[in-house]
Structure 1
Amino acid sequence: MMNTGAILYTEKIIGAFPGIDVGHQFFSRAEMVVVGFHNHWLNGIDYIGKTASAGRKTSMNLTGYNLPLAISIVLSGQYEDDVDNCEDVVYTGQGGNDLLGNKRQISDQVLKRGNLGLKNCMEQSVPIRVVRGHKCENSYVKKVYTYDGLYTVVKYWAEKGVSGFTVYKFRLKRVEGQPSMTTKEVCFTRGRIPKSISEIRGMVCEDITRGLESIPIPVTNLVDDPPIMPPGFIYIKDMKISKNISVPEIAPSGCKCKGTCTDHTSCACAKLNGGDFPYVHREGGRLVAAKGVVFECGPNCGCGPKCVNRTSQSGPRFRLEIFRTPKKGWGVRSWDYIPSGSPICEYIGLLRKTDDLDPAADNSYVFDIDCLQTMKGMDGRERRLRDVSLPSYLQKVGEDATESVPFCIDAGKTGNFARFINHSCQPNLFVQCMLNEHHDISLARIMLIAADNIPPLKELTYDYGYALDSVMDAEGNVKQMACYCGAEECRKRLY
């Protein structure tokens, strides 16, 4: 990918990196290289060299700078002389390590390349991105890398290291005014998942699902005094259907695969998805890319329940917690790392006709099934069906789509934990329409998928998709609701 220029940012960037916030996690060094965040899959220091041969070029104006300049470092415990106190780091320069995993120095380090780049950053007050790597069983390389923000080099020196060889040391201090680090939370969660109910602070319910889900979901409340449970709500695992709605009973013919679908050239369901499977066989199945609609295997398919093309039908697979927030009501967070593309949950509730909703009722838990609008690219949404070969009857339905949304999911009184997931103007989940039991796009399943690698204890959010001034009260007056998502690009209003 580097040789063909298929990197997201092909030119090196000093300081803050577009789209990568503090707490962002990469599940391999290769992911950092592909993005252009840290351009070496092995070296701990990435730097801008004096010539193009020392690394990729940068479009930044470097006139007056003394090169090389370090732009990022990775702390992963490779050197025996490192000292990491989170906000204050003593970093051992590069070189002289045997790279065999025992962290031992076998020769002297020299002040050149990345080491010289760190020295020059100190002298010219250039900030450096710091990434920490730690073990993670959920990562396909068994490590995860967390971006912890910008640091400045405040001091450097040479000394004899533990093994008797000269090493260069660099003291770095974290730049003030940045978001709080998440590495401490990550390490805490990795090291001490609660062993008993008594360890969960503010718990008001051990399992809101009452055993309906395979993994219990506790509820915590450290905001209200006395703490309360979510009121007026009954947890269900499967969708309820209003009596005046007829869900298609005849399922699609399905594929003829046996056991699990592996050959995309012969699988009928793969052909519906543009000739390939929508998921990769990793971490229980991960969606490759968002689509207008994903066709999963259904009841008439020859494959079994472990087929990767049934990924969204397996139920929640991460340890989750519903918690009370100060301004946004209830929210949901995970105790586990969530890799990008992982299905989180289906939005469950009462399937209703939109026309049957009471306009006077104050119900914030209604989800419109608007897959047709998504397919048509309405409201400025990106058309995402160019890679999907729809059956002829679905193509006609898509062409006839109007702005009306005939069906919705009402989770006001009954539903699953999806109803507690809050809005964000910069969310870490996205909405994906799914079909498996039937092919009626107006009654598609609504899934929430991880849009990014999500660290533990990070609140799960998706964009509710309201247009400003689009919500009216019973008298036809515009209703407004403030947004407290806290995102850097927050629109300040939910609607």
Structure 2
Amino acid sequence: MEPDITNFDKLEVVDAKPLRCLPPGVSPFGGTHGVPSSNPQFPVQTPKVRVSKTPPPPDSANSKQSNGEKQQRPTKKVKISEEVRLLSLEGDRDSVSKVLMKFDALRRRIAQIEPDPMKRPDLKVGTIMMNNGLRTNTRKRIGSVAGVDVGDIFFFRIELCMVGLHTQTMAGIDYMNMVSEQVQQPVAVSIVSSGGYEDDDGDGKVLVYTGQGSNVSVDQKLEGGNLALERSLHRGNEVRVIRGVKNVEAQKSKVYIYDGLYKVEKWWTDKSKMGAAVFKYKLVRIPGQREAFTIWKSIQTWRDNIGCRPGLLLLDITSGAEKVPVSLINEIDGDKRTPRFIYFKGLKFSKTMEASVGCSCQGTCLPGSNCSCIQANGGETPHANGVLVIQKSVVHECGPSCSCYPDCSNQVSQNGLKVRLEVFKTKEKGWGLRSWDPIRAGTFICEYAGEVIDTADKGADLDDEYTFNATNAGDYSSEWNYVPELIEEENPVDLDEKIKPSSPIIISAKNMGNVARFMNHSCSPNVFWQLVLHGPNKNSFPHIMFYAIKHIPPMTELTYDYAKCGKKKQCFCGSANCRSYFGQE
């Protein structure tokens, strides 16, 4: 948390610093709700919308709770969203972020509708967006790509195409033709090294790349991409390198890391394991770039031996309360004092709460069924493949009062931490939180745990730095959600649902809490919070859950927007959109 510069006690800087809460009606993305940004330089043609009639209500005779009976949720007509006109042909960081956000939002929605991963929702969405001009950096180029930073991660090859980093969905070498001495020759602009051939990643700064061929048992030819890499050696041009590594969450898939600019130093021929002639290219990373792939290699070393992690103070601040350990790291100074608080995973109430009524389903609850929890979500499960599909005012998960508990798949945020986190000392903001694992957009990160404050208690401090107040949080940002017009859908009515809590939603992590208390503020956050109810009852006490706004690379600080809650403090987030201060007078 960021210290109060008007009253700063150096002796207390190592204490656990709290979250700020968002004030009612403020988007976790910043800006004004319902007013999407636009870019007049890129007037994209609006796709046609197929308007469907609102389905009739289900037969009351079939309204019993039983899995498998599909019911359509009501919809209402909407105007074409301006969000399909938000991009620029020549990218910048904002355009790249929006392309990737809209891509993954639509991919999550299609994965929700068609859960079979063999149908490749990523390729389907890529086709839809490209057909509608929703991409950026369309001009092929040598060197850096505007808006894409070294260290950025991608979960699908098509994402690389969407932002102009690597335009080949299958081929490992991307190249362009250039005229030299009145002769047109190919030069390489980017390569993807994903282990498909006999590549050697060296120390993370040198890559020995194997050329491409259609058949591993046949000699490779010096043509196409292979010739382009050979020509790049003589031309001395920069080549973008994207490295593919195994996804720790799904071993059959990969995560792609943009590792920056390299130059081809030499090439030679060799024999493959199959005995065929192959081309080898040695690429060396250009110095002075931020670390990327080497961070991944360091993390793997720490996984094998946590004792070699520099600055290690504690192996696990949760003392085994979480399934995944959370280490405490201080690489800033020699202070070995640790935060003072009781680690607690959930909510502690000062008075007994009435048990909510759950669904009566047996086994896992299915989309389209008459399950009361599913119906409270508009007839669909809120997650697809474990990630949140859309952000709205409230999400319903099956809870402890449900008959399906604890084996139901509709409980994504109730099973503790899934990513490997560490609490670390920052230079200017006290303690912070980051992950060893790559985090996909929509991934559940953690709950805001602590003591539920009773406003009737006159001694309760409702304005201390550890208090999270979400009482009137009924608004949400539509910017993170998919554009329904792109798949000829209409906005569902349940997005307009407003939560009316039976009591104020105020939680303090001052004396007890979990890792969420360490998340710092940023004016350009990568995390948002979402209210989640356990069960279909809208009057039960909601939980505050944190989800990833976008793909987050390992060792990137996890932050969200504190906005105008609490006392005014100077902001140290360092983002391009920094407001200089957060909080209010």
Give the Cα–Cα distance (whole angstroms) in 2 for the partners of residues 97 and 276 of structure 1: 44
Shift of 1:228: 0.6
2 CA distance for matches of 1:491 and 1:429? 18
Q: Which residue of 1 aligns with 2:380?
A: 276
Query: Is residue 374–residue 381 contact of structure 1 (8 Å, CA) maintained in 2?
Result: no
1:272 maps to a residue whose letter is A
3-state DSSP class of the match of 1:276? coil
Change (3 A) 1:267 1:371: farther
Given the alignment, which residue of 154, 174, 188 partners 2:298? 188
Quote the Cα distance in structure 1 between the aligned partners of 2:159 and 2:250.
12
Contact (CA 8 Å) 2:346, 2:447: kept in 1 or not? no
Question: Size of the alignment, in residue pairs?
Answer: 443
Q: Counterparts of 1:359 and 1:304 in 2: how far apart (Å)? A: 34
CA distance in 2, matches of 1:333, 1:97: 42
Establish whether residue 368 from structure 1 lines up as the match of residue 469 from structure 2: yes
Matched, 1:422 2:533: no
Question: Which string of whole-angstrom CA distances, capped at 9 and with x for unpartnered residues, describes residues 172-209 of structure 1?
Answer: 4434443222x22312333551546x445443334323
- Counterpart for residue 294 of structure 1: 395
| 1:215 to 1:65, Cα distance in 2 relative to 1, 3 A | farther
2-side partners of 1:304 and 1:490: how far apart?
A: 43
Find the partner of 2:334 among 207, 216, 225. Answer: 225
Deviation of the 1:437 alpha carbon: 4.8
Q: SS of 2:453's equivalent?
A: strand
Q: Which residue in the other structure is 2:571 paired with?
A: 482
Distance 2:515 2:197 in 1: 44
Q: Which residue of 2 is the match for residue 60 of structure 1?
A: none
CA 1:146/1:95 → structure 2, altered by over 3 Å: closer, same or farther?
Answer: same
Specify the alignment match of 1:149 in structure 2: 260
* Alignment pair present for 1:433 and 2:564: no
Identity %: 37
Q: Take 2:231 and 2:430, find their aligned partners in 1: how far apart are those partners?
A: 48
Does 1:6 pair with 2:117?
no
**Contact map agreement 1:189 1:335 (CA 8 A) in 2:** yes
Give the alignment partner of residue 255 of structure 1, picking from 342, 359, 375: 359
| Cα distance change of structure 1 residues 106 and 312 upon mapping to structure 2, 3 Å threshold | same
> Structure 2 counterpart of 1:139, which letter?
A
Q: Which one of the candidate residues 462, 470, 473 is aligned to 2:559?
A: 462
| Aligned counterparts, 1:72-91, within 5 A | 72-80=190-198, 84-91=202-209
1:303 partner SS: coil
Separation in structure 2 between the aligned mates of residue 325 and residue 450 of structure 1, nearest angstrom: 21
Does the 8 A contact of 1:370 with 1:442 survive in 2?
Answer: no
Shift of 1:310: 0.9
Query: Does the CA contact (< 8 Å) of 2:153 and 2:257 recur in 1?
Result: yes
The correspondence for 1:413, drawn from 471, 490, 511, is 511
d(CA) in 2 for partners of 1:298, 1:35: 40
Q: What is the TM-score with the length of structure 2 in the denominator?
A: 0.64
Is residue 199 of structure 2 the alignment partner of residue 106 of structure 1? no
Asked which structure has the greater RCO (Cα within 8 Å, sep 6+), the reply is: 2
What is aligned with 2:82? Answer: none
Tell me by how many angstroms 1:275 deviates. 2.5
Which shifted more, 409-418 or 129-138? 129-138
Partner residue, 2:431? 330
| 1:293 Cα offset (Å) | 1.8
- Residues 61-76 of structure 1 mapped to structure 2, 5 A cutoff: 68=186, 70-76=188-194
Shift of 1:224: 3.8
| Cα distance change, pair 390–29 in 1 and its aligned pair in 2 (3 A) | closer
Give the letter for the 2:408 counterpart.
C
Post-superposition offset of 1:434: 0.8
Q: Secondary structure at the match of 1:447?
A: strand
Rounded Cα–Cα distance in structure 1 between residues aligned with 2:407 and 2:445: 17
Aligned equivalents of 2:329 and 2:397: distance in 1?
35
1:360 and 1:341, CA in 2 relative to 1: closer, same or farther beyond 3 A?
Answer: closer
Aligned position for 2:420: 319
The AA in structure 2 aligned to 1:331 is: G
Deviations 1:452-495 (A, max 9, x none): 34444x1441222314xx754xxxxxx33131x34454444444
Query: For the aligned residues, what is the CA RMSD?
Result: 4.0
1:424 and 1:487 in contact (8 A); partners too: yes
Distance 1:258 1:67, change over 3 A: farther
**Aligned-pair CA distance for 1:122:** 6.1
For residues 384-403 of structure 1, the C-alpha deviation after alignment (integer angstroms, 9 at most, x for no partner) is 998554499x65959xxxxx
Q: Within the alignment, does 1:25 sit opposite 2:153 as a pair?
A: yes
CA contact (8 A) 1:316 1:344 kept: yes
For residues 224-250 of structure 1, the C-alpha deviation after alignment (integer angstroms, 9 at most, x for no partner) is 43411113x22222212356xx85x25
289 and 381 in structure 1: CA distance in 2 versus 1, 3 angstrom threshold: closer
SS across alignment from 1:264: coil
For residues 210 and 441 of structure 1, the distance between their equivalents in structure 2, rounded to whole angstroms, comes to: 34
How far apart are residue 130 of structure 1 and its match?
Answer: 1.1
What are the ranges of 5 or more consecutive residues in structure 1 without an aligned counterpart?
51-63, 99-104, 399-404, 473-478
Q: What is the CA deviation profile of residues 8-62 of structure 1, one whole-angstrom value per residue up to 9, with x for unaligned ones?
A: 5273553444654322223343554566643334311123569xxxxxxxxxxxx
Is the aligned partner of 1:129 residue 2:244? Answer: no
Secondary structure of 2:547's counterpart equals strand
Deviations 1:247-286 (A, max 9, x none): 5x2524x4343111124243332232233211123xxx22
Partner of 1:235: 343
User: How far apart are residue 364 of structure 1 and its match?
Assistant: 2.6
Q: Residue type of the partner of 1:369?
A: A
Tell me if structure 2 keeps the 8 A contact 1:431–1:448: yes
Work out whether residues 273 and 389 of structure 1, in 8 Å CA contact, stay in contact via their aligned partners in 2: no
Distance 1:250 1:185, change over 3 A: same
- Conserved in 2, the CA contact under 8 Å of 1:431 and 1:462? no
Deviations 1:387-426 (A, max 9, x none): 554499x65959xxxxxx9532221222111101222333
